[in-house]
Amino acid sequence: MIRTGRRIWNRNASTGAGEGGLKLTDAAVERLKELRRDGGNEEVLLRVRVDAGGCSGFQYRFDLMEGPPGEKDRVFEKDGQKVVVDDVSLAFVEGATVDYVEELIKQSFQVVDNPNAEMDADVEAPSQPDDPRNDVV
């Protein structure tokens, strides 16, 4: 397990997606179709990456890309729509689902139902020595 910020990443979690796939929701598929149609480019792929986020742990990054995937990329497809993930990032999103969510103030792709990420209990900052919370009753 890797502990980062408020999340614990379990690299040994069961994927629930056969050989370690990445699932796509219908909403994500429809949004990718729209992006391809609106951009006039049928070769557009969605790249999912996991980047170190400093003290807040890992962060998911989504980019649209053109052209063929790289040697170390894995491609996951549903209804002709493709998502590309590099080997390093796949270890952190294996078995998860990519969704597209529309909210009042934002629209975005999101990684949901990730079996590799578990929420940790609240982490408190260390208290100062003169903090009254340190008094033993």
Contact 85, 48 (CB under 8 A): yes
97-130 pLDDT, tens per residue?
999 999 999 999 999 999 987 654 333 333 344 4
Dist CA 13 CA 16 (whole Å): 9
Q: Per mean pLDDT, which of 84-93, 111-120, 128-137 is the most reliable?
A: 84-93
Dist CA 64 CA 36 (whole Å): 10
Local structure of 33: helix, strand or coil: helix
Contact 99, 60 (CB under 8 A): no
Out of 19-23, 63-67, 70-74, 87-91, pick the least confident. Answer: 19-23
The dihedral sign for the CA sequence 16, 17, 23, 25: negative
pTM > 0.85? no
Distances in Å between the Cα of 131 and the Cα atoms of 46, 117, 122, 136 are 49, 34, 19, 11
Between residues 21 and 62, the one the model is more confident about = 62
